[in-house]
Amino acid sequence: MDIKKNIDSIRNDFPILSTSVNGNKLVYLDNAATSQTPNCVIDSISDYYKNLNSNIHRGVHFLSQKATEIYEETRFKFKKHLNANSTKEIIFTSGTTHSINLVANGFNNSLKAGDEIIVSSLEHHSNIVPWQMLCEKTGATMKVIPMNQEGELNLNAYEDMLSKKTKIVFVNHVSNALGTVNPIKFIIDRAHSFSAKVLIDGAQAIPHFKVDVNDLNADFYVFSAHKFCGPTGVGILYAKQSILEDFPPYQGGGEMIDEVTFEKTTYADLPNKFEPGTPNIAGVIASGIALDYINGIGLDNIKKYEDELLSYATQKLKTINNLKIYGTSQNKTSVISFNIGDIHAYDIGSIIDNLGIAVRTGHHCAQPIMDYYNIPGTIRVSFCFYNNFDEIDKLVNALNRAVKMLS
């Protein structure tokens, strides 16, 4: 689908885009925080509760079977989309953060003092804190891949820090704060040559281009539905089957067990072992609809269109005096982090919000990046395929107005 030609009809799929904020039509440029939701996804949630709602997996009755079937079909959709080997490798969680914690917990027993784990300096807090907690428990230590001014990782430094002591490497596919696309295939490959496992945080990648976990040979790949037009409260964890089989269960509960007595409990097979309790059934099913929706538009088309938005916006923003962009890698998604002179990001964000323009200001849950640049935060605009060029013009006008007021 040619997005440029169909942009009006695509925008019509997203009811929130026609709401107004403070008397102005909403210009939503905070897509890296959460994406908006098309009618088909919203409707799938209503339809679920109107026609299907039922607890899954254990019921003999019609609704329960039907809901179970669709839930499991959704698992298959993600398996196929990611090119995983089996639906046993797809675990539904409540979000990227939950997925990462589940994986970190899996290393509780195998990691020990003297072991090393490697993180990149571009990570979201969700991909730092669970590992810090793991280090505290196990005595392992954390090394940090440094970055450069462009917001890219220093791969030589990475290669130097790899050793037989390295057990886990965790890096995001795309930085949420800067948009940098990291060379994860290389990173995974090098880590594997030292038998280290690699987790890729794909929260900012899945919405923007096609990902093939088999080709990447990632051990773990995690992301959230709410970032690719899906609902809140759903995460997806891809992990290699052999690893999941060795992992201890993360949480205990119903569904994840085979037999329970007070003396001894045996766990169910994959994927149930990692999905105790009643899952977010409506949310999972709606996530599958969201996946269908972006595949319907086509991720290649999305990438092409968003690249155009990115270059148009970058060029336009550069016309503003003293505007400095953080994250200038050649390979980046449609995210622009910037500051204007020494005006506080928060002042600008407040004023343009009043003009209906939603951007994010602050550290974007990536304080280490801010520390690197020695700034308290940035203004971040992040695009989705439903944004248009007109909205970029509005952004630039609003910024100019804010700068005038604040100088």
Partner 1 sequence: MKIKDIQEEIIDEFGIFDSWMDKYEYIIELGKNVPKINEDDKVDENIIKGCQSKVWLHAKKSNGLVQFYADSDALITKGIISLLLRVLSNQKPSDIIQANLDFIDKIGLRQHLSVNRANGLNNMIKKIKFYAIGYNNK
Ligand X SMILES: Cc1ncc(COP(=O)(O)O)c(C=O)c1O
Rule CB under 8 A: say whether 73 interacts with partner 1.
Answer: no
> Where in 236-255 is the site for a second copy (CB under 8 A)?
249, 251-255
What are the DSSP E strand ranges found in 291-404? 323-326, 335-340, 357-358, 360-362, 378-382
CA–CA distances in Å: residue 51 to residues 55, 121, 291: 13, 47, 21
Binding at 53: pick from a second copy, ligand X, partner 1, none (beta carbon under 5-8 Å per type):
a second copy
Is residue 365 flagged as an active site residue? yes
174: closest CA among 24, 54, 400, 329?
329
| Residue closer to a second copy (CB basis): 298 or 362 | 362
User: Could you tell me if residue 233 is left (phi over 0), alpha (psi between -120 and 50 degrees) or otherwise beta?
Assistant: left
Query: How many contiguous H segments (helices) and E segments (strands) does the chain have?
Result: 14, 17
The tokens for 339 are 């500051």
Work out whether 254 is an interface residue with partner 1 (CB under 8 A): no
Strands 197-201 and 220-224 come out as: parallel
Binding residues for partner 1 restricted to 34-63, rule: CB under 8 A: 57-61
Tell me: does residue 22 bind partner 1 (CB under 8 A): yes
| Location of structure tokens 């959704």 | 74
DSSP per-residue codes, 27-41: EE-BTTT-----HHH
At its nearest, how many Å lie between ligand X and the CB of residue 225? 8
Q: Which does 204 bind (CB under 5 to 8 A by kind): partner 1, a second copy, ligand X, none?
A: ligand X
* Non-local CB neighbours of 12 within 8 Å, separated by 6+ positions: none
Residue 239, strand partner residues: 220
Give the end-to-end CA distance of the chain in Å, rounded to a whole number. 44
Q: Which of 65, 132, 154, 314 binds partner 1 (CB under 8 A)?
A: 65
Interaction residues for a second copy, span 103-142 (CB under 8 A): 104, 119, 121, 124-126, 128-133, 142
Interface residues toward ligand X, by CB under 6 A: 95-97, 124, 126-127, 172, 176, 201, 203-204, 224, 254, 277-278, 365
15 binds a second copy (CB under 8 A): yes
Kindly state whether residue 395 participates in binding partner 1, applying the rule CB under 8 A: no
Residue 86 touches which member of a second copy, ligand X, partner 1, none, C-beta under 5-8 Å by kind: none
Indicate which of a second copy, partner 1, ligand X, none lies near residue 106 (CB less than 5 to 8 Å, by partner kind): none
Residues that bind partner 1 (CB under 8 A): 22, 57-61, 64-65, 68, 258, 343-344, 346-347, 349-351, 353-355, 361-362, 376-377, 405-406
Residues recognised as catalytic:
365
